[in-house]
Structure 1
Amino acid sequence: MQLISFDLQSNFGFFRKPETNNTLNVSYNMIHKPALLGILGAIIGLAGYRKKGELPEYYEKLADLKIGISPLDHDNGNFSKTPIKYSNTVGYANKGTNFLTEELTLISPKYRVYLLIDEAIETQRRLLRNLETGNSEFIPYFGKNEFTAWWDKQSVLKYNYTLAELNRHKSVPILSLFVKNQNITKNSEVAEVDFLSEWESDENPFMYFERLPVGFNLDLMQYQLEEMVFSNYEIKNAHTLQNLYHLTTENRYVQLH
């Protein structure tokens, strides 16, 4: 098993929220695991959606891959956004009339992606090889095929790591998004996960929250959502978080799910 990371970016990105309507469409700010699996599948040439109601090949073969995500070059966890308006004049799409839609699109999204690679699995072994050589079988993109995504093979890093074993009194820095498993507050004796009360850094402290897809509900064939957190605070009571990994050389932590 190898824990690696690579930096993935694009000039634009649009990860559509399914609950938005047809005239104003909103993107998730963070890339999420189902979208990221599609990109990883493209890198090794796995097929996408082919039939309604069936999962794509990339999801079936990569769903068990443990993934962590951290935004880069962001503003307190957020990326700048711009509205882009489209006019669709294709008759079969809008019953013969012009259809206008607007999408709130991410500008220059960039993420550090952490992967726990099992080299005994052929698809994961091939993924590691393609990432390290900078090769992709299909063109990856951030939500729309005009938003081509890329990575520099020099950004691929390998880590020494252990599965975290924390006591309840230790505060730790978490580099990635993590699942909010309880109410999160500051200076609370009862919170399962709490932010460090003292701030000793030149950075401005921030907490970012977003409800993101982490997989699919296979009965309903729709996203399974979790409340996610990203912060530059150290985290109290991090021993309650599952799948937390310690990057031993960096002395930092990531959650892989």
Structure 2
Amino acid sequence: MKAISFKLSGKTACFRKPDVNQFAYFTYNNIHKPALLGLLGAIVGLGGYTQLHDKNRGLKEGKLGYDDGYPEFYEKLQTLKVSITPLAPNGYFSKKIQTFNNSVGYASQEMGGNLIVREQWLENPAWQIMILDDESGEYQKIAEYLENKKAVYIPYLGKNDHFANIDEVKVLELESGIEDIKISSLFDEKTLQISKIAPKSELSFYFKEFSPFNLQKKYHFYDEYKQLIFTNHKINEGDYSFVFSNDGKNYAFI
């Protein structure tokens, strides 16, 4: 089994949570699968939310020509299996609240139309990303663009304020099986159950985040969330169907 691997990083990032928008907007700690697929789609030139909105502009739902499907990037890439490994000692990135003005005039009903925006940003985030080779045309195109450092659209980390760096691109040979019964990447809590016994030779860490996993078709909201774990605890049991090893480490693909 093969996979293409690369380091994804940036000075800042913001993967905005949709459930809080009062005092400040907050970000997920890690890039989630829909956002990662959007970044990959941008690299190879697939359409996104804006292109779909423009296509449907002036058309009524259910009428001829109306596209009620997913954005092109998600339609074509949703079956890809990816592995996400936070490049931080315990999986946690520093965050700060940034304050800025939205003064387009119609942003606020207050005098002057100015809206004060508070937004939480990740600082210096970095991940190792792997994409499993499923022998599809989409995978082959993504691998070719990554290896040749090409991109149709500029990739960014959540918003176009946050440019993405892509380095250390390489093709890896993966092996099935578990060597030391630890997972070095994020993994689904329901798929692999960890031991509650702390590791003896190193300081224990356990990071869990409720992360978006796929999109709802009609409105493109996050439709399903998964509890993703990053820990150095051993795995007691679980489904190892999409766990693969490279260089003595095990990675879960979601």
The interval holding the TM-score normalised by the smaller chain is: 0.7 to 0.9
Aligned counterpart in structure 1 of residue 77 of structure 2, from 32, 47, 62? 62
Aligned counterpart in structure 2 of residue 102 of structure 1, from 101, 105, 118? 118
1:185 paired residue number: none
Query: Are positions 1:125 and 2:123 aligned together?
Result: no
2: CA distance, partners of 1:43 / 1:51: 17
Q: Is the 8 A contact 2:69 2:218 kept in 1?
A: no
Structure 1 residue ranges without an equivalent (≥5): 183-191
1: CA distance, partners of 2:175 / 2:3: 10
2: CA distance, partners of 1:218 / 1:126: 25
The Cα shift of 1:106 comes to 0.3
Query: Are positions 1:48 and 2:69 aligned together?
Result: no
Query: How many corresponding residue pairs?
Result: 236
1:217 paired residue number: 216
1:203-214 equivalences under 5 Å are 203-214=202-213
1:90 paired residue number: 104
1:161 paired residue number: 174
Instruction: Name the SS for the 1:60 alignment partner.
Output: helix
Identity of matched residues, %: 34
Instruction: Mark the CA change 1:54 to 1:86 in structure 2 (over 3 Å): closer, same or farther.
Output: farther
> Which aligned segments of 4 or more residues in structure 1 are displaced greater than 4 angstroms?
none
CA RMSD of aligned residues (A): 2.2
1: CA distance, partners of 2:196 / 2:175: 23
2:244 paired residue number: 246
Question: Which moves more between the two structures, 15-24 or 170-179?
Answer: 170-179
Deviations 1:206-235 (A, max 9, x none): 000000011113356321101110012222
Query: Are positions 1:255 and 2:252 aligned together?
Result: yes
Query: Are positions 1:231 and 2:240 aligned together?
Result: no
The Cα shift of 1:129 comes to 0.9
Query: Are positions 1:143 and 2:154 aligned together?
Result: no
The amino acid that maps onto 1:255 is A
The amino acid that maps onto 2:80 is L
1: CA distance, partners of 2:198 / 2:25: 39
1: CA distance, partners of 2:200 / 2:5: 27
2: CA distance, partners of 1:54 / 1:93: 30
The Cα shift of 1:146 comes to 1.8
Q: Is the 8 A contact 1:243 1:256 kept in 2?
A: no
The amino acid that maps onto 2:231 is S
The Cα shift of 1:105 comes to 0.5
Q: Is the 8 A contact 1:27 1:105 kept in 2?
A: yes
Q: Is the 8 A contact 1:171 1:235 kept in 2?
A: no
Instruction: Name the SS for the 2:151 alignment partner.
Output: coil
2: CA distance, partners of 1:81 / 1:69: 19
2: CA distance, partners of 1:10 / 1:162: 30
1: CA distance, partners of 2:198 / 2:36: 35
2:185 paired residue number: 176
Instruction: Name the SS for the 1:37 alignment partner.
Output: helix
Instruction: Name the SS for the 1:7 alignment partner.
Output: strand
2: CA distance, partners of 1:231 / 1:172: 12
